[in-house]
Chain A
Amino acid sequence: MSSDAAIAVEAPARPQVGAPARALAWLRRNGIRIYVGCAIAYLLLPIAVIILFSFNEPTGRYNLTWGGFSADAWLHAFSITGLTEALVNSLKLAALSSIAATVLGTGMALALVRHRFFGRRVANLLVILPMTSPEIVVGSALLSFFLITGVALGFQTLALAHIMFSIGFAAIVVRSRLVSFDRSLEDAAADLGAGPLTTFRLITLPLIAPAIGGAIFLCFVISLDDFVVSNFNSGTTLTFPLYVFGASQRGIPVQVNVIATMLFAGTLLVGLLAVLFSRRRRRAQEGAELEPRA
């Protein structure tokens, strides 16, 4: 399994002479690792800035230049009413839409993998289209829809929209799990006389549970981060990103960085736990072939 044996760009060992040549060889061997390190540092740089500026003591309205260290914003993280309200809206919206979208998306994934019906390809296309359309088109089309049908803009339209653009992501995550696992277990359960519902509950659901968890997590993060579609369809309801956009014009309070850091740490923690969990699971699976739980 040693993947390092198969490095394509690695130079074959050659007799070395002198320090510069050795340094060059070392660089050649580790160049790709250094590159990975630099690229990841580049990806994380803005996050570092966000976290750093959550400890800033700005001189005026604007949290733009470094004015000295202060933990003040952390101690009063929820002191700005509008910001806290926007955050609560965002969390509610993300919870609601991630669960609803995962339910709908899981249904679609099951149907697409396990069943044959007319319109299957259309259903496939429906899953993939919203994800592959630019957000601005999705957002503006939805606004057109709400304006023409006279639906009042607000939290309810945000929820409808967020569920819509999350379904596809949920369906794809669950689907990739469904196609990869052995179906003989389900067949065996059916052979033993279990009804479809029982089979689903006892066999299928536990097997796809990690994917369902992953789908909820993914949809949650996507909803939390969404700006464009929300900006079109929010009316005067504010979510966290919408608050930030409004505040960017008049001066962003340090608390925005604090909350962004909290959200980052929280979701990262969930992500890390998922990585650990899946690693342990894989190890367990390598040891013993899947044992169905009763």
Chain B
Amino acid sequence: MIRRRLTGYALVLPGAVWLAIFFVVPMYLMWRLSLNSGSVETGFHFSWDWANYHEAFTLYDTQFFRSFYYAAIATLIALAVAYPLAYGIAFHGGRFKHLLLLLVLAPFLTTYLIRTLAWETILNDQSPAVHLLNDLGLISGGRVLGTTGAVIAGITYNFLPFMVLPVFASLETIDRRYVEAAQDLYASPRTAFWRIVVPLSAPGIVAGSLLTFIPAVGDYINANFLGGPNNRMIGNVVQGLYLTERNYPMAASLSFVLMALITVVVTIYLRLAGSRALTGDDLSELG
């Protein structure tokens, strides 16, 4: 038994140490950095400078709020688009199921940036698609690029497969006999769907919305390429502060608060959803 335990440590430690050094320690150091003061020229030193948080928030609260707002809307749209898609594949995919899944995943096989740039090409002001939308009165001002809608649409597109996969996985595990039983008991198809299928796929919905929401909050590629100056998200700010302005303390405090806020939102969400799909031992449900 001792030996078994030692083997366990031997197996887990290399990976765990790697993750500790390159994830946990960096988080700790970023927190320390957020309390530094100084500038690139004079150097930065640790000084419990909480003012960075105050300053960061007064300057960039809009972008924080915007990021959560965009991410929430994009997650809802992604769910609305992904659910019927996952349902169709799971229940009607037949022998093409795996092929269809692969096609859903196909966007991940092209570079994220290039996919987003392709949308920029598709949606530029001169494109026929945009003219059509304009003639139909679906957009105002004759353009899609540089608007809130474009950013949310971009986020939705880019993270859609993250929603489809978990929902599909949970639909797959539903025992079809429940649905048949419901119909045998004269439930209408609609009732059977809402009372049986949807509740049983809830873990997938929870996992999918988290897998979409979390990266969406921190995203800045879509805002960068598809948005305008009034659509910039917290990710744009953090990257600008870190990489261009080299204002590390303020950047670190924003990044740290982003992480903290996401943890809070996710915890509340998981409480409300009553699922442990993403934590602890039920990890395997994700795979």
Contacts and interface: CB of A to CB of B under 8 A. Distances in A.
Direct contact of A and B (CB under 8 A): yes
A127 B278 CA distance: 11
B287 A167 contact: no
Given A136-B220, A140-B238, A6 B180 contact: yes
Contact of B190 (A9, A104, A124, A263): A9
A194 B217 CA distance: 51
A263 B111 contact: yes
Contacts of B27: 141
Given A124-B283, A132-B278, A167 B7 contact: no
B88 A43 contact: no
B113 A128 contact: no
Interface residues of B, number: 103
B215 interface: yes
B189 A142 contact: no
Nearest to B24: A126
B203 interface: no
A92 to B, nearest CB: 17
Given A40-B104, A135-B218, A232-B243, A115 B5 contact: yes
Name, among A144, A171, A260, the residue most crowded by chain B CB atoms within 10 Å (CB to CB): A144
A35 B114 contact: no
Interface in A1-57: 3-12, 32-33, 35-36, 39-40, 42-47, 49-50, 53
A248 interface: yes
B248 A35 contact: no
A66 to B, nearest CB: 9
A107 B92 contact: no
Contact of B8 (A7, A9, A115, A260): A115
B100 A144 contact: no
A266 to B, nearest CB: 9
A116 B107 CA distance: 39
Interface in B60-92: 81, 84-85, 87-89, 91-92
Contacts of A65: 126
A167 B115 contact: no
A119 B5 CA distance: 12
A44 B18 contact: no
Interface in A123-167: 123-130, 132-138, 140-145, 147-148, 160-161, 163-164, 167
18 contacts: A3-B92, A39-B88, A43-B104, A64-B121, A115-B5, A132-B210, A133-B262, A134-B218, A134-B235, A134-B259, A136-B218, A137-B258, A148-B33, A161-B22, A164-B18, A172-B283, A176-B287, A267-B109
A-B pairs, 3 with minimum CB distance: A134-B218, A176-B287, A115-B8
